[in-house]
Structure 1
Amino acid sequence: MMTIRRRKTRKRRSPQKKRSRRRRSTKRGSQVKRRRRQAMTHRKKRRVKRRKKEIQTRRKRTLKEKVKLLVINLKMILLLKLKKELRVPQKTRQLQKNQPQKSQQLKNLPLLSQLPKNLPLKQTRFQQQKLRPTKSKPLFLLAKPRPQHRLQPQ
């Protein structure tokens, strides 16, 4: 039957005794220090190498992704162009060229002084919402003249 050896606890030496201790002939302490220092530098180098590799792979990955996105974008643009060309026939293309541009159309709108005088003065909230100008219906188209019989005194 094997007896389990207990590790002896180191006796703490007082600082006076430590001071008086003679130096050992074998320089074991310095060896340990050297080994520890080497291990530290080794670990450091390994860490630096790993980090470098990670950065490189990340850079590669981002480049790949960038290229992929670029290709997708180009494909989309080409598809949209093709669609546009297919959608618009030749006749309508010529008509569009002959039509006046939006800015000219806006210039030709009637002025406020030219609008009908008897516009509704008070509107309910629902009517106000209805009368909001949109792109398809400018304000002067939305304005409805008031009914005449209300204006005449009885």
Structure 2
Amino acid sequence: MKEVQTIDELVISFENHLRSLQRSRFTIRQYWQTWKPLKIFISANNIEFFDITVGKQFIKSKLGVYEYANLNQMQRRLANTVDALSVFQQTGKIHFGSAPLRRNPPKVFTGEIGILMEGYIRFRKTTFGLAKSTVNNNTRSLYALFLFLEIKG
């Protein structure tokens, strides 16, 4: 894939790739909702070519300094869309759901509280024969509580 592209060249190439994957018009429209402000940002800042640093500058201008896990759905869509554009520029592929910004660190329970929570999850899994998705939901919920308790001491 070309490393040096204008934003117009890149989004047209990305859109054509989405069409080749038979993505719906609605999906493509959602991408364009982010690309339009991105193009305005690039023009306003007299940037000639798009690259990953431009994408990061744009996201920072919209969201400030952030933790991905704390973003709401619309903010995540913004980060994901710009990230997907950067990854596409580098690889020529779209990695749905697995691009760098979208990776959440693994949930690791530590200390006495963490050991108790892991034991509770195992207990529920074996006692009730929970599905993997239910175990994941339990882990996600308990991890939020775990982080809260860790902060409080």
Q: State the TM-score, normalized to the length of structure 2.
A: 0.25
TM-score (norm 1): 0.25
Greater Cα radius of gyration, structure 1 or 2: 1
Structure holding more helix per residue: 2
Bigger relative contact order, structure 1 or 2 (CA pairs below 8 A, ≥6 apart):
2
